[in-house]
Each structure stands twice: as structure tokens, then as C-alpha cells.
Structure 1
């Protein structure tokens, strides 16, 4: 402080002045980049002068366009928006969110619901699922696990107007171009009569129907499998399940291969060998001493093919040898734990309630900002961590393992307080 008042009278005077100032401050509205009404005016002008000409050029009628945006205003409560007058910034929640164990993603409450629900629906839809597997080569368990995870087997309510979400994000989001493409695809869906305007309900991210497809995915991958002449991912179970399978096939699903296997990793095999760019024949992984949990050998067709080490918690959790199909599952959601949830859930739906053999260890109390700082430190040392985003993907995990081994530490391939402090 520059100075300190002396005596009770001066302190009382300062408190009185502060109170007067606070009352005056409360009476004046805080300055904002733009009012909601002004943003709405700008949005309506953008619709008319910017979006409509492009929509018209793509064959969208004025009637469809007007119906899509009738009564629609920007939803300023959606995440990842940049309001007029503001600069893009990292959300505080993303910056400060406490980092948790990957094991948190596999709560038995969620996994159990997907497993039980999947088994029930496997029996009820056995003929449909068999026909889908014959046509697309995707096992029933995988399709059911995605259906359960994405929309609770169709039970999840879609609380948003899709054109409100997509319009807001195309106008204000950090990824405007992506959402503009999705918005135009949504208009095409309605224009072509593939879905009614009323049915265009979505998640906060603009995902539609039981498979949670964005509009471009619907146009590319939605399938009419019940033979009624239209692909209906809102009300038709056969169309929903076949559309999920078709999506996976588009991204390279290999018929006849598993997604992966939980394994035991010997101490002398480095966890830094993880990643889809460090593949080996599964037989070669086995020759290094890596074995399937439970003692079964790898199936012969898998042993001859390529596999990849995947350790979402480094040495602090289960280890897996995964196939290219694991990375196809990541095309549905770019997350190792999401793909693992689907693969594990599919196994449990198809066969048994077996849990992971490896346990998920405890994680140090870190924030995403701590991990981002650690990533920047590793980058300065020449490591490719895949970006300093506060999320420890496989490139970050193996970089940690390499650094630990080179500096005489036990290689865990996972963030902890020690390496965060070492990188400061």
C-alpha cells in the first residue's frame, strides 16, 4: 500500500466514502461489449446479408430459411462464444478445472447402465443387429455401446433448437467456419424433406438424434435400414443402429478385428512406446513379454496384424494393446477414454461383466493450467506433446515417460506434481 490512515476518524471517513462510492457504482450499469438486443440486431443483419446469399446459392428456399430462423435469437449462454467487442480467450473453467483420474470416466453407474441397457436391446433387436453386422462388419456390442453412451438408447431429451445452437455458433463461436458448414447442412436437411423443422432439436453442440450426428454426418452417413424410404435417426431403431455402423465403416472400421485387449506390461517395457505411430505386430508385442490379462493368447488373426500400446493413465492404470479399430472409435469422439469406454462396454454387452483387471491409481491434485505449463516446459526441451492444452494425450504421456527415463526417474508416463515443478 502507498500509505495508511492514522486514527479512528480517518478510518471511519474512508469507510463512509467507500460506502458512497459502492452505492453509486451499483446504480451504474456495468459496461458490456454489446447488449443482448444489439447482438440480436447484428445476428438478424448477418442472417439477411451474409448467410442467406450463401444458403440461396446452395439451393435453400426462402421459405425454408425463414422457417428455420423464425423467432430464433442468439443463445448467449452457450459455451465457446466470442461476443462482439471481446477477444477470444481461454475459458476460466477450462484453465482451472481440476484434473482427475481417467478412471473417473468409467463409473460403474454409467458403464452398468450401458451394459444392462445394451444387453436388453441386443435381445430385442437381434435380427436387426445381425443384419447390420453382416452388411457393415461392425459387431452389435460396439453399435449398442455407442447408442447407449450418446443418447441413453434414445431416451435423452434434446433441449435445444438446432438452428438456435448452430446459428449462434456460426455467428459467435470460436470455430465459426465449422458451425457455418453445419448450419448450412441443417438447412439442406429441411429443404430436402429429410426432417421436419420441428424435429430439429439438438444438444448444446448441435448434435442430432439418437446417434448424436452433426448435420454433415447425417447427410453423409444416415441410413434407411427399415425400408420405409427415409433415414430416421430420431424414431427408427434400425436406422439409428445402421447409421452408427455406417459412420464407423466410413472412417475405416476393419471387419473381423477386435478393438483391443487389456494387457499386462512388464517393467522392462517402456510406457513411452505408446501411440498410433509406434505400431508393431501384436506377436512382436507378445515377444516383448506383453500378455493378455486372464492368460489367454492373442487370437491368431490378431497376432499377425498390427497393434498399438495404449495407456490412458500411464503406469497409473490399465494398459492395452489396441487395433486400428480403436482409432476408428475415436472418430466418433476424439478421446482415448471415450473410445476405451465404447470398446470395454461392447465387450461387457457381448460376453460378461468383467471389469478392468488393472486399477486406476490416484492422481495428484493438479489443474489443467498446471498440466499446460508442464507441456510448455516439455516443448521447450524439444518434445512434441501435441499442444499445450492441459489435456495429457498420448504424445504428452510418452514425452513425460521419455523425460523421466532420461533424468533417472521412474517412468510413469503421467503428470504429477514432481514433473510439473521440474518444468517450471
Structure 2
């Protein structure tokens, strides 16, 4: 009985000590965060014309949020998980499910009818098709219905302090302070996503300052409550990033094995007519539009050979400038097509090996050590990683899938 009581007492003492140590670490982190804000962020904010009163109000009661992803915490602990946090970098079958695409397209058609006049004026001014604008609006904020609850200064402050991409988030934090200083919003109204994105089009603060427009003529660039400003700001963003007026975003295509997935990417140009001669055809036997055949396109294998395949135009990569995910850009293109009456994807997402983001990261590290260009070593299978996998598969005598696999990881 005495031994049992002693063991229980020891456990309670250990738990109390661990709690005290955790509280001390949290207090130390909060102090370091406050020192960082005052020593590094305030001087830059002041030079940008941000009043001290706004700075103080923005960070009153704000502490670092260590539950956010992609942080490096004191002691070297990271919050980068083995799994993919962003939906855009998960399964293509899930992200581009028929349910999600069809629902967004149905609402998109309703919004096209409701805002046809303003969308026509926006399209005439910026050259971006209304269905593309609507698809982005739907994906980013469910056509303005999504709740965006996080404190933007908590998110951006934490990421400027602890993120792997400190310089990027430092600039975003300063831009957020300028948004308030310029009178666009009050501090209390600065709500964001977990990544720090704002409003219905989910602009990062620097993008708001650069691309947001006042289209309804009320003197405010209001991407929070004004539909005309929201839609025109999306169009202005795409135009500024190089949208080519009169061109489509891309086309689902049947790409024969004789055309290698190793030739994917925006840095590999093909005349669409030459791809047709090589056996590439639009799905269901349809021809590519005559207006496109003389122009340049790019092969796109968002899941390697294990999913739907496409011929992309340069406008596909303009959509990626908005969100750097192949699945995101395909989703936007598909919803836009469906708003105009197109059918579902014909290609099917095949079953792939269960690999975590950490598994892909380690595979990329192996490929880089062997001299391959995988782009960013980040655990995400972008086009450079996919085509490097294809080259490695060919050299090793494996089936050319251009997609991460356990078999390739083991062989490397």
C-alpha cells in the first residue's frame, strides 16, 4: 500500500515538473516573440508609415501559435508533418471528386446568371473568362460563404517568427499592418486563413496591396464584402500574371506511351499540332480547337501516368501563380469547363502507393544526391520531381510512371 502511494506521488511530482517546464518554455517563447516584434518588425513598420498605436493594437494579447504547420520551434522541433496539410497536395481523386467539382460548377452557373452584367464588364476589361473567375471564387471561399476565423496578426506574426519561410511572411506581416494603416480594415477585422490569406479571393496581404481593385466605385478595395471588387480583383491578379486573352486553360487528353511523361512541364514547349501528329488527342475523340493547334502547349501529368492527363496552355500556369498546385489549377479549369456545360473527367485516378510527405521528401533527397533536378525538396511531387522520377525509372528498368513509388525508393 505504501509503495503504491509512493509511486503515485512520484508520478504526480513528475507531471507537475513537466507542466512547469512546459509553462516556462512557453513563457520564454512569448518573451522572445515580443522582443522579435519590437526589435525587428516595428522599425520596418514605422518606416512604412504604420502608426505605433496600430502596431500595438495589432499585437495586443497575441502569442505565437505553435499549432500552425511549417514551423521550426526552439530546439529544432518542426511542425512539418509526415502527412500533407494542404488539400491541394493530397489525393487527386479526393480533391477533384465528382461531388466537389459538380457542386462548385452548379453554384458557379447560378452566380454567372446572378452577376452576368458585372462579369461581362470585368471580362471586357481584364480579358479573363467569367467561368475561370467564378471557379477561383468558389474554390477559395465557397463563393464568399466560407468562414475565415483566424487572427491574421497571430498567424503572420508566428510565421514571420518561426516559419521556414521567415522572409516571405515578414513581408506579408508588414503588408497586413499597412492594410490597417491605410484604412482598408480595422485591426479587429483582420481575419485570415491558417496561411494568412485574406477575404473572399484569399489574397495574401502583399497581393491585396498589389492587385485588389475598386470595381464598384465606392472608393474602397473591398475583397471582404463587395462581390464586384472580389471578382475584378481575381481577374486583375490573373491578367497581371500574364493571362493570354482568348486562350483556354488546357484540355484533358489521351497521351500515348510513345509520348513520354518525362517531357512534362512549362519549360518544354510543343506546338499542339505536333502533339496531335504524335498521337495526342483530346478526350472522347474530340479535336483540339483549330485556334489552339498552331499555338504552344505543354504536357501535364498531375499524377504521372496514374491519373488523368492533359495538354495545358500557358494560362494553366497563370492559375498556378494564384495557387502553386497542379490539382488546384486543374480543379479551377474543370469547374470553369463544367459551368459552360462540359462533362466530367474521362481519365481515372489509379491506386498509388501509400507514401507520406516525408516519404516523398526522402525520395527527393535521394534523387538530388544522384544529380536529378526535382525542383524544391519539399515532399511534394511537382512536375520536376515527376519527370525526374520518370528518368530514374527508365534507367532502372522500372515501368515509367513519373510518380513516387515504394519500388523506386527501394531501388534508389
* 1:55 aligned to which of 39, 45, 60: 45
1:75 to 65, 84, 90: 65
Q: Which runs of 5+ in 1 are unaligned?
A: 1-13
Contact 1:75 1:164 in 2 (8 A): yes
* Corresponding residue number in structure 2 for 1:370: 359
Distance, in Å, in 2 between the alignment partners of 1:26 and 1:154 is 46
Aligned partners of 1:72 and 1:373: how far apart in 2?
Answer: 36
Displacement of 1:223 in angstroms is: 0.7
- Provide the residue aligned with 2:177 in structure 1: 187
Alpha-carbon offset, residue 355 of structure 1: 0.8
Moved more, 292-301 or 180-189: 292-301
Name the residue aligned to 1:310: 300
TM-score (normalizing by structure 2): 0.92
Aligned twin of 2:385: 396
Check 1:102–1:34 CA distance in 2 against 1; reply closer, same or farther (3 A cut). Answer: farther
Task: Tell me, yes or no, if the aligned pair for 1:100 and 1:363 is still in contact at 8 Å.
Answer: no
Residue 65 of structure 1 deviates from its aligned partner by: 2.0
1:370, CA displacement in angstroms?
2.7
> Contact 2:81 / 2:358 at 8 angstroms: preserved in 1?
no
1:51 to partner: Cα distance: 2.1
CA, structure 1 residues 374+56, in 2 after alignment: closer, same or farther (shift >3 Å)? closer
The more displaced of 223-232 and 362-371 is 362-371
Q: 1:375 to 1:174 in 2, by over 3 A?
A: closer
Deviates more, 1:35-44 or 1:201-210: 35-44
Rate the CA distance shift 1:32–1:197 in 2: closer, same or farther, 3 A.
Answer: closer
The worse-fitting range, judged by mean Cα deviation, of 359-368 and 221-230 is 359-368
**Residues 86-105 of structure 1: pairs in structure 2 closer than 5 A:** 86-87=75-76, 89=78, 91-94=80-83, 101-105=91-95
Distance verdict in 2 for CA 1:387–1:108, change over 3 Å:
same
Please name the residue that 2:114 is paired with: 124
Whole-angstrom distance in 1 between the partners of 2:176 and 2:307: 41
3-state secondary structure, aligned to 1:360: coil
Say whether residues 1:109 and 2:95 are aligned partners: no
How far, CA to CA, are the matches of 1:374 and 1:387 in structure 2?
Answer: 12
Structure 2: gaps of 5 or more residues: none
Cα gap change, 1:152 to 1:180, in 2 (>3 Å): same
Against the structure 1 CA distance between its residues 22 and 136, is the aligned structure 2 distance closer, same or farther, given a 3 Å change threshold? same
Call closer, same or farther: CA 1:327–1:197 in 2, change over 3 Å: same
Q: Which residue of 2 aligns with 1:28?
A: 17
Q: Which residue of 1 aligns with 2:396?
A: 407
Name the structure 2 match of 1:165: 155
Counterparts of 1:175 and 1:388, CA distance in 2:
14
Offset of residue 271 of structure 1: 1.6
Q: Corresponding residue for 2:33?
A: 43
Q: Could you tell me how far apart the structure 2 residues matched to 1:281 and 1:145 are?
A: 28
Give runs of aligned pairs for residues 243-322 of structure 1, distance below 5 A. 243-322=233-312
Shift of 1:371: 2.5
- Paired residues in the alignment total 410
Q: Distance in 2 between matches of 1:229 and 1:394?
A: 42
Which of 325, 331, 344 is equivalent to 1:335?
Answer: 325
Does 2:355 match 1:356? no
Decide which moves more: 323-332 or 173-182.
173-182
Q: Deviations over 1:57-81 (max 9, x none)?
A: 2111123222322333333332233
Once the two structures are TM-superposed, the CA of residue 169 in structure 1 deviates from its matched residue by: 2.0
**Residue 226 of structure 1, CA deviation:** 0.7
C-alpha change, 1:342 and 1:60, in structure 2 (3 Å) is same
Distance in 2 between the 1:313 and 1:122 partners?
31
8 Å Cα contact 2:264-2:387 kept in structure 1: yes
Cα distance in 1 between the residues matched to 2:16 and 2:115: 63
2:407 alignment partner in structure 1: 418
CA RMSD of aligned residues (A): 2.6
TM-score by length of 1: 0.89
- Cα 1:133–1:92 change in 2 (3 A) is closer
Q: Displacement of 1:128 after TM fit?
A: 0.7
**Mean Cα deviation higher: 128-137 or 65-74:** 65-74
